Structure 1
Amino acid sequence: MPRPARSALALAGLLAAAGTAHFLVPRPFDSIVPRALPGSPRTWTRASGVAELALAAGLAVPGTRRASARATAFFFVAVLPGNVKMAYDWRHRSTAAKAVAYGRVPLQLPLVLWAGHAARAED
C-alpha cells in the first residue's frame, strides 16, 4: 500500500479531475442529482464540483491534509444517493452502461477507505 502522503496526492488528483469534469461536461452529473434535493440539478452539480476541487486542494497541502481527507470520506458517503439513483435510472440500458452505473455504488466503500488512509498522512 502506498504511503499515506502519496495516497493523498493521488486522491487529490482524482478529485481535481472529477471536480473539473463537473464544469466541463455537467449534463451527466445533472442527471444523477436526486429529485428530492431542492433547487436545480445544475446548482448541485456545480456545488459538488466546487467541493471536489476544494477537497483536492486540501489534500494536496500537508497542513490541511488530515482534515480534508476526513471531509473527503464524508463527501463520498454524501454522494452515494446520486450513485444509487444513477444505478436505478440506468437499469434498462445496455449491459455495459448498467455495469458502469451499478459499479459506482460499491465503489464508494473503497473511496471512503482510501480517504481514511490518506487521513493518516503526516502533516
Structure 2
Amino acid sequence: MIRALLRLLLASLYAIAGVLHIVAPRPFLSIMPGGLPYPEAIVLLTGVAELIGAIALAQGWSSTLQRAGAIGLALYAVCVFPANINHFALDMARPDNGLGLAYHIPRMFAQPIIVWWALWAGGVTDWPFRRRHN
C-alpha cells in the first residue's frame, strides 16, 4: 500500500515537472549547462520523457511497464544531475547567492534518493527493505 502511494506521488511529481518543462521552459533553459546544442529541444524532450515515465510508473496493469518507467525516470534523474550542479554553481556566483545553500545542498542530496525512490516504487529493487534469506 505504501509503495503504491509513493509510486503515485513520484509519478505525479514527475508529471507536473514534465508539464512545466513543456509549458514554461525558461527556468529550465536558464540552468542548462552551456555548450549543449538545441537547448529548447532538450528541455521539451526532457518534459516529454518525464511525462512518459510518469505514465508508465503510475499505470497499474503492467508491472513490466512500471519497471521500465522506474528505470527510465531513475536514469533521467542521473542525466539531469549536471543541470542541478550547474544551477548550484550559477546561483552561488550571484551576489545574492540566488536560492542559497539551504536550497541547493538538500537538492544535491535528494538526487540519489530520487533515483532510489523511482527504482523502489517501480518494483525494480526492494533494498533496503527486503529480508535476507539464509
TM-score by length of 1: 0.86
Aligned to 2:57: 59
Does structure 2 retain, via aligned residues, the 8 Å contact 1:12–1:57? yes
Question: Which structure 1 residue ranges, 5 or more long, are not aligned?
Answer: none
Take 2:35 and 2:98, find their aligned partners in 1: how far apart are those partners? 28
CA shift, 1:95, in A, is 5.0
Matches for 1:27-66 after TM superposition, within 5 Å: 27-39=26-38, 41-62=39-60, 63=62, 64-66=65-67
Does structure 2 retain, via aligned residues, the 8 Å contact 1:8–1:65? no
CA shift, 1:102, in A, is 4.0
CA shift, 1:47, in A, is 0.8
Identity across matched positions, percent: 35
SS of the residue 1:90 aligns to: helix
Q: Which has the higher contact order (CA 8 A, sep 6+)?
A: 1
Question: Which structure 2 residue ranges, 5 or more long, are not aligned?
Answer: 125-134
SS of the residue 2:100 aligns to: helix
Does structure 1 retain, via aligned residues, the 8 Å contact 2:92–2:98? no
**Root-mean-square deviation over aligned CA pairs:** 1.8
CA deviations on 1:23-68 (whole Å, 9 max, x unpaired) are 22211100111223222x2111111111111111111112111111
Q: 1:26 to 1:44 in 2, by over 3 A?
A: same
Q: Which has the higher helix share?
A: 1
Aligned to 1:114: 117
Take 1:77 and 1:6, find their aligned partners in 2: how far apart are those partners? 23
| Alignment length (residue pairs) | 119
**The structure with more radius of gyration:** 2
Take 1:67 and 1:24, find their aligned partners in 2: how far apart are those partners? 26
